[in-house]
Every structure is written in structure tokens, then in C-alpha cells.
Structure 1
């Protein structure tokens, strides 16, 4: 019996590897958080059982606030992983000083080719993408890490098909993570690279769009992908008791169908929590939608 107890208490290899990789990344000055196999924050919200959770970003002093828990302190990182022994990966918070990390997520699924789209964007606007840390994703895509003088916003598809920008408030999955889709790995030879500086032309393209003219008809995001994302989040927020889980699952399926699933998952979970679902239940529902979409792919 004792040996069984010891085996159950021993850290899982994926958890241990993720913690080690997270500590190495934090040593580079990049704040991290533990992630579950669904790529969502692993530490459960301390407000998950509240009927109407407040918009707390960690002011309560407890862990479980997603990207707002991100830290470079080894002791705090170990503590976060300790309260989430199911974590098999880690996320790197974007947009924070001193590097204001930008994660360029180049997707190659759902008919998009983010790598080709970025090359086309660079030629069209006359800039060169610098050599930088590059992470290979399980789907065959890439994450490029760039530094910037200040934070940029998140966006999905606005720069081009298959190009998502992880900026302030977002995060990228770190190399050494294992998710339901597979492993995230450093591109061979990439470990020696420092963070490349984002070209000025790219920063201009990634900057927030100009403020729209006053009037309700002009308040919605202009890019079709952003409109779609906003509509799906609103669909979840408008849920009533008895339909919340079903509406969340439908919205998550539509997000994955549109190639927005990974980028929109945290926002969908947050919206569902605001309707009264627990964070654990909401995350499980979104993950189920992702698995369903993945199983339908040829």
C-alpha cells in the first residue's frame, strides 16, 4: 500500500519536464504560468464557485488568475506547479516589460498557411523577419518570439490568413510543453538565438486600428475574423441557466471550425465563467470541442 501511495505522489514525467522547461524560460526574463493539456491555465480560479465572479486579476492574493499569475520567480513558479500537479505545459505571458514579448502564431491548419502569409506580408511592406526563438507546434505551425518597445494587442487573422498575434494579455505555449495535440519543441538551432526585435513596419501593422467613428453601427471590429470572435464570445455571454454549457460547446466548435479555437479558447472560458459555469467545467467543454474538431480532420 505504501509503495502505491508513493507512486501516486511522485510527479509525472510530463509535469516535471514542463516545470524544468518553464524555469529555464523564466531565467531568460520571460514570465510563465503552468498550463493543462488543453493549453488553458492549469491553476483553477479561486473564484470558480462564486455565483458572479468579480473581475479579479490577482488582487485577492491567491493563485488562479491565468496570465496574471505569470512570474519569473523560481519559488513562485514551483509553487504554481505544485498546486496544479496535472499541468503538462507552461505558457509565456506576452506584452510584459522589459521585452514586451510578441508571439507570432503561424498556423498551417484549416486551409491557412501562416508561414507563407508572413513571407508575403514582409515582401509587401518591405521588412525582414529577424532570426529569433522559434517553436514548432504539434500541428506543423510555428511560434516566432519577438521583442518590442511596448505592448501590442492580440489579434486573430488580421495580419493575414493563419497569422495570430499574441500580445498584452495573451500567452504562447512554451517549448517543452505537452498538450492533447502533442509536443511543443524548439526549432533546431533556435536555442542559441536571442529575441529578435520586431520590425517597425510589422509593429505598425500590429498596432490597434484607428478608433472607429462614433455610432453604434461602427463599434464592431472591422476584420471578419475579429467580428466572428466577438460574436462567439457574445453568444456565450448571453447564455441563460440551463443552456450555458450547450451554447459554450457550440461556440467553441464554431471557433475551431473557423481556425480560431486556440486563440479564442481563453476568452470563451472567461465568458462562460461570467455566466455561472465553473472554470473547470468551461475549460473541459472547450477542450471537448477541440478534440471533436481534431478527430474530424483527415
Structure 2
């Protein structure tokens, strides 16, 4: 593992005067890629990949494409540090308000800790307790302040270790961003504000992750059995196989993709509702129940579904 210096201007200290969020995001993404080799993608204001999948109309169960088709819209699989590729992605996503930095990729193999401070849980304090309990010395590293009051701590990891994406695995309020995940780059705008560099501007180096902490992030953990989704629940809502398939899409979501899957499924459900093929509220209830089964917090699931409702039905009214 090696340390990685982060540019002070990578969105963390200043905006480009007279520029749009899109222009700022593109400029910061290019700086992160060109100067430090980070692989990036454009993000929407909801912190989701900004390019719509070319396979969004594929039926659930269709073999996944990770970019083999040659088109854009495959989320983190599109991430690149090639300037021409980055510009092409942002040209295809003129509504982008931020950029994501791929974790687990060379040369830095980034690992991120998302330290939430909400709902009575303080991820920063929980990480300190965890470090004290295991005698882990945590060096200063790059820290990004999130608009909600939390923080993202960045680390470099070893090439030979694949760090999984996990929520609350090591401690309450501490989520892990590893291989297949991404960190929201400083300067990105979310629905609640801008992500900003919180580290000392003179100490903006991503440090190697402590070995003991890495062990905790990658250790196995027995997962509680999921409660069963009630038989026939989706069918009773109406919408036939379409809604059943959307519910199944959420139920089959791997950890780290649950919220993205829920948003996609909700958008499709509301599109069906707009066409009169099912009832919007009933479909939302079925998807909410599916989200609970896979372990998404109620407030997070509700926010995601309402965001999808506004995206589809709000725009049509």
C-alpha cells in the first residue's frame, strides 16, 4: 500500500466562478483523473450514476452487462481516468452535479468509510470506540465533509485484498465503500449541499489503511435470515408479472446495490402507473415491503421511492 496525495483543488476548496454544477463537476473529475489517476463517473444530484442504463427496459433476469455492449450507462463499470472518456460521459449526462471516484482500483485501491451522523447515531464516535477497543492507531487521512453533517474517510488498500461494500458491518453508522463502490468526490453537489474537503489543506494525503482495521472490514459476518416476502403480495397489488419482476429485482439486490435497485424498480413501477397498468400507492407499498426484507432502513427506502415518484410522475404533471 502507498499513500496518495489528493489535489487541494479537487472540488474541496473552490468552485469555478460563473460555472454550472455540471461544469464544476466535470472540471473536478478531470483534475482527479489527470493528476492522480482516480477513475471517475458523473453523478446526479441524488449521488447516483448520472447516465441511464441502456438496458433499463430489459426484463428482470436478463444477463447483466458491465459495458460489454460498448455503450455508456453501466454505473461504476464505466469509470475511467481517460480525459476523452470522462468528457464523453459528462456530455451524455448534462444534468450531472457531481462525480464518483471508483474504489478498489489501481493505482490507489481506495477504501472509504462513510461515517453517518443521523438518527441518533454518530459514526465518527463509533469509529473512535472501535479503534480504542481493538487498539488501532488511526492516522490522519483525507476526510470529506458531507452535506448531511457526516464524513467520508479515504484510505489506500492493498491490491491483493478485495474490500466488500457493507453497511453497519463494523459499527453502527459506519458504512464501507470498497470494490465495486464509489466515493462522492469533493465539490460534488447533492440534494442537501456540497461535499467539501474537511482535512487540513496542507495534509491532504490518503494514508494506507491500518492492517487491523482492514481485517475488521473484510471479516466474515453471519447475516440474519431475511424475513420472507408474503406469498402473492405483489400479485395482489395488480400489475401482473411486471410488478412481481420489479419486487424480485429488489429482493435479489446484492449488498451495496439495494438502494440503486429500489430506485430503478420504483421508477419502472411509476411508469406503469402513469400508463394505467397499476396503482402507484399500492406498488410503492409492495416495493417498501421488499426494501424492508433486504434490510434497507424505512426512512431511506421511503426517500428513494418518493424520489422516483417525483422523477416519473412529478415530471408528467
Q: Which category of TM-score, normalised to the shorter sequence, fits these structures?
A: 0.7 to 0.9
Cα distance, 1:165–1:191 mapped onto 2, change above 3 Å: farther
1:86 to 95, 106, 126: 95
Aligned to 1:265: 259
In the TM superposition, what whole-angstrom CA distance separates every residue of 1:62-83 from its partner, at most 9, and x where no partner exists?
Answer: 1100010011111111110000
Cα distance, 1:24–1:239 mapped onto 2, change above 3 Å: farther
Aligned to 2:206: 195
Name the TM-score, length of structure 1 as normaliser: 0.72
- Contact persistence 2:142–2:199 (CA under 8 A): no
Whether 1:105 and 2:114 are equivalent positions in the alignment is: yes
Aligned to 2:28: 21
Secondary structure at 2:153 match in 1: strand
Aligned to 2:173: 162
C-alpha displacement of 1:110:
1.3
Give unpaired runs (5+ residues) of structure 2.
1-17, 251-255, 275-286, 288-301, 310-317
Paired with 2:103 and 2:191, the residues of 1 have a C-alpha distance of 23
Cα distance, 1:54–1:39 mapped onto 2, change above 3 Å: same
Aligned to 2:223: 221
Aligned to 1:46: 54
- Contact persistence 1:51–1:276 (CA under 8 A): no
Cα distance, 1:110–1:289 mapped onto 2, change above 3 Å: farther
Aligned to 2:156: 147
C-alpha displacement of 1:88:
0.4
- Contact persistence 1:35–1:42 (CA under 8 A): yes
In the TM superposition, what whole-angstrom CA distance separates every residue of 1:103-149 from its partner, at most 9, and x where no partner exists?
Answer: 10000011110000001111111112221111000011000010110
- Which ranges of 4 or more aligned residues in structure 1 deviate by more than 6 Å? 275-278
Name the TM-score, length of structure 2 as normaliser: 0.68
- Contact persistence 2:262–2:304 (CA under 8 A): no
Give unpaired runs (5+ residues) of structure 1.
1-10, 211-219, 252-261, 293-298
